[in-house]
Amino acid sequence: MSGIDRLKWQCRRGSKELDLLLQNYLATGYLQADEAEKKQFTALLQREDDELARLFLTPAHCEGALAVLVKKIAG
């Protein structure tokens, strides 16, 4: 499985909302991202679904580069 295929699989989550957010970013923003952002996105995918949902619902709890990435993904 290639790197992008693995990420596509990891973007499939427990809720349709998370699926859409993550898959949309992968299709539109990930390929243009620098290496640091790509690593951060990969690390973000390692989080549990409830934690991801909390991050996207309350992005004010994020700081620094994570906040920037969450805002990019959430659109």
pLDDT of residue 75: 81
pLDDT of residue 1: 66
pLDDT of residue 69: 95
pLDDT of residue 6: 94
Contact 7, 26 (CB under 8 A): yes
**What is the number of residues in the chain?**
75
Q: List the one residue out of 58, 56, 61 whose CA is nearest residue 72.
A: 56
- The domains of the chain are located at 3-74
Please, which pLDDT band fits residue 36 given cuts at 50, 70 and 90?
A: very high
Give the pLDDT confidence of 47-63 residue by residue, as tens digits.
999 999 999 988 777 88
The CATH code belonging to domain 3-74 is: 1.10.150.250
Q: CA separation (Å) from 45 to 50, 70?
A: 12, 12
For residues 33-49, average pLDDT = 96
